[in-house]
Amino acid sequence: MFPIQSMRAALMVAAVGSVLAAMPARADDYPSRTVEAIHQFGPGGGTDRFIRAIGDPFQTITGQTLVPISVQGGGGVPAAVTFMQRPSDGYNLMAVGPEQVINHVLGRMNIDELQPIARIQYDQGLFLVSKDSPFKSVEDLIKTAREKPGSLKVAVTGTAGFDDALVGLWNLKSGAELTTVPFSASEMVSNTLGGHVDLMYEEYGPARGLIESGDLRPLVLFSEFRLPVLGDVPTAAELGFDVTLGRWRGFAMHASDDEANANAMFSILDQAAASQSYKTIEKESGLQFRSKILGPKQFKEFMQHEVEIYTDILKQLGYVD
Amino acid sequence: MLDSYLSALGYMASNPFTFLLIIFSVVWGIAFGSIPGLTGIVGVALLIPFTFAFDPIEGLLLLGGVYVGSTFGGSISAILFNTPGSPEAACTALDGYPMARKGQAGKALGIALAASAIGGIFGTVVLMVAAPPLARLALEFGPPEYFALAVLGITAIASIGNGSVLKALMAGLLGLGVATIGLDPLTGMPRFTFGSMMLLTGVGFVPAIIGIFALAEVLQRFGEGPQKGYVIDDVSTELPTIGEFIQTRITLLRSSVIGTVIGALPGVGATTAAFIAYSEASRWSRHPEKFGTGVPEGIAAPESANNAAVGGSMIPLLALGIPGSATTAVMIGGLTIHGIIPGPQLMQTNSDLVYSVFIGMMLANLLMLLVGVRMARYFALVLKAPYALVGPAIVVLCMTGVYALQNNVVDLAVMLVFGVVGFAMRRFGFPVASFIIGLVLGPIAELSLRQGLMLSDYDVTAFVTRPIAGTLLLFSAASLVYGLVGQFLRARRKLNGDTGPDTSEEAKA
């Protein structure tokens, strides 16, 4: 019952550990002031929490703070515009994810103006139905969807965004065509539980409580391998449909930023992501399964690969020609 | 259940620190609520890192107290300066500020405070005794029900204000129209953005109300020049007497119920609850034409509803793990970091936590009464300063707040434009309330209508055959017909030269 003291002790342990680890990385005094990370989601949302979670060890390592700046709405375009207007001095980061790739493909921003630094999180999602749903397994779902294409409604979050692309890819690969209906994250769950929609798409972390209570039944997982915690839920790949897209989160700088700063930033983020405090949060959010940190070069390749995938999907869905 | 309360009380009694946290959080919340641009969501989000150092219970008590305090706090600046400090309080400005201008600022604050506490306690009691069944009820609300609810609120547009119905409808339609600017919520295509990348976010509600209330007020006051008799220097907050309390009891009860139910619905929160409660208060009132001129019900309705919505939005959070509002969504994030998985099992596996939150929210509402009286008094001291100093300060504060909210420069432009719009609307007698209701409820109506049509494969009858949606829509239609007939009768009586009391039809309602 001495939270303050225990926190102080934990901080000291973390500080000592990270100072030891940080030594070789800090070439000069970069960063010597607050670093800001622009993102397109609301304060307290998944990305905001991600930046704060990394910001905690970031501060222990560098002595500087990492602050999330939320520029909400507009499908992420205003956030990108705001980021581009900021100076390329190494103190402005952008939190990136599939939304930036999709906006790039839709011609609403140019990700070549970004210098990828680190991909830190890589999530995996599921199709879920309410416990009262007639669909007991993914086979039931596929059968009905193939008989009456488009009649089943899947609740998703966001509009013409990642969820739409994933369902679109599922439709193309499986021929079990589903219609997406966009909701806010909380209404998506309430409409699924209330039986107003047939199923929903959600990442494992946020859905975990309702899966464990039995209110939501997971049917199929989108990842390369099954989750150890959901051993009996098949992956789409096992069914023969190559759908492994996942939501990922990372950081980028301006393409014109100094490469030395980018490398220094990666090394800090690498240590921050390996810290005990971040690992705990990663685990509590159900993100520990696929998240493997990627450095600037690998991350760039990963993003280029994502651009190809999303261009393909969005073309077939008719969003771009 | 009693055991759980006792054990939770035991926990809190053995940790006096928790009481300090509640006091701190209510003060923090009121402060955040009362400053434009710093909303309750920001207040909660900023405190989340601090909760890492606390136990989960202490953390949640802290966040819950901020939520309670901030929902009331907005009404202080709304009443005193016509500057809603938070979106939830926008509705309170409609009658709160006119009452303050009549020299009854203390009374207006007192009504807001008492109504907030009553609504807050009502919502918390419902949360304590009926969370699981109410959460299940909330699940019955699909897109058609959301649509019907929004329509119910929108039909009140025609009946609000004492001016012409035509002007009220025009203002309402303008609000509905402005709400369509930005990205199409279903296809993601830009609408009326005129090529501006930053306008893709649409016309934000907060910048629009700050412009239309606060900025327009400053313009108006400077237009009038220094005037005697306009000075509000009555700084003592007087809680309503028992007699006044009994007069508004029906409004308080109705608004608290509306607030709790709407709060429990995911995706719509305290702001919507306040406006629907206001619409209903004017619909059922014997003198609807007086709304907007500073009637006590016009303050009591939105304030009791928005605070009841706080308890309401905790219902799906604690019973199902679904946040009922943006602020509770932020709280979920805070819980997750503590290793608590919000979900239906929370009430069993973490009963100490859940019951401590119940007790904490109850305490927070009572504390709000004490703290609110004090804080409102300090705020009111500002009124002693000449308006030539206060006015510019309000403008600066609003601009900073509006920019800080989303870091979007377009929000500043929106605020300035709507300052002029608000000024013109008042000048030419267009009711601001109708416009704001259109702006708040328009997006809900549009999105839920289109979602509902997608779900029913474009079968319109799905909206009227569902029991809840059908009843609400029928009631909206009946109320419109009733209003029209009433107007027709009034107009005819006027023609016949009858000068009798023209409110006799409403008196029967």
Cis peptide before A31 (omega within 30 of 0): yes
What is the C-alpha separation between B467 and B103, in angstroms, rounded? 47
As given in the structure block, the two tokens for residue B402 are 């509006």
In contact, A254 and A110? CB cutoff 8 Å: no
Taking CA–CA distances from B47, the nearest residue in chain A reads A44
Per-residue pLDDT tens digits for A70-83: 888 888 898 999 99
Helices (H) and strands (E) counted in chain B, each on its own, are 23, 2
What is the C-alpha separation between B206 and B211, in angstroms, rounded? 8
C-alpha distances in Å from residue B336, one per residue of A1, A2, B339: 20, 21, 5
Using the CB atoms, write b or e for B14-38: b if 16+ within 10 Å: ebebbeebbeebbbbbbbbbbbbbb
Sheet of A216-222: strand order equals A178-183, A152-157, A199-203, A125-130, A216-222
C-alpha distances in Å from residue B331, one per residue of B44, B343, B497: 7, 13, 61
Per-residue pLDDT tens digits for A37-90: 999 988 777 888 899 899 999 999 999 999 999 888 888 898 999 999 999 999
Shortest Cα–Cα distance, B326 to chain A (Å): 9
Give chain B positions within 8 Å (CB) of A185. Answer: 329
Q: Give which of B200, B335, B349 to mutate to test A binding, by max A Cβ within 10 Å.
A: B200
Nearest CA-CA partner of B322 in A314, A202, A138: A202
Per-residue pLDDT tens digits for A264-316: 999 999 999 999 999 998 998 889 999 999 999 999 999 999 999 999 999 98
Q: Return the amino acid letter for A301.
A: E
Nearest CA-CA partner of A98 in A247, A319, A224: A247
- Could you tell me the domains of chain A? 18-122+247-316 (3.40.190.150), 125-230 (3.40.190.10)
What is the maximal distance between C-alpha atoms in chain A?
64
Shortest Cα–Cα distance, B188 to chain A (Å): 5
As given in the structure block, the two tokens for residue A70 are 């939320």
Q: Give which of B187, B347, B451 to mutate to test A binding, by max A Cβ within 10 Å.
A: B451
Per-residue pLDDT tens digits for B86-145: 889 999 999 999 998 888 888 899 999 999 999 999 999 999 999 889 998 899 999 999
Per-residue pLDDT tens digits for B31-71: 888 888 788 888 887 887 788 788 888 888 999 999 999 99
What is the C-alpha separation between A188 and A161, in angstroms, rounded? 15
Tell me the sheet residues that pair with B182.
B191
Q: What kind and span of H or E run contains B319? A: helix B296-320
The lowest-confidence range among B126-130, B165-169, B436-440 is B165-169
Strands (E), B72-213: 182-183, 190-191
What is the C-alpha separation between A311 and A317, in angstroms, rounded? 10
Query: From the CA atom positions of chain B, what is the Rg in Å?
Result: 22
Per-residue pLDDT tens digits for A227-277: 999 999 999 999 999 999 999 999 999 999 999 999 999 999 999 999 999
Q: Rounded to two decimals, what is the model's pTM?
A: 0.86
Contact residues for B22 (Cβ-Cβ < 8 A; gap 6+): B61, B62, B65, B360, B363, B364, B367
| Nearest CB partner across the interface for A160, out of B188, B338, B455 | B188
Query: From the CA atom positions of chain A, what is the Rg in Å?
Result: 21
Shortest Cα–Cα distance, A146 to chain B (Å): 17
Q: Give which of A7, A190, A276, A278 to mutate to test B binding, by max B Cβ within 10 Å.
A: A190
The residue range of the domain holding B133 is 2-508
Shortest Cα–Cα distance, A237 to chain B (Å): 29
What is the C-alpha separation between A180 and A160, in angstroms, rounded? 10
Across the A:B interface, residue pairs with CB atoms under 8 Å apart total: 167
A44: left (phi over 0), alpha (psi -120 to 50) or beta: left
What is the C-alpha separation between A278 and B12, in angstroms, rounded? 30
As given in the structure block, the two tokens for residue B424 are 């013109």
Q: What is the pLDDT of residue B233?
A: 58
In contact, A193 and A130? CB cutoff 8 Å: yes
Q: Is A197 on the interface with B (CB under 8 A)?
A: yes
CA angle A307, A312, A316 (to 5 degrees): 145
Helices (H) and strands (E) counted in chain A, each on its own, are 11, 10
Q: What total number of domains does chain B contain?
A: 1
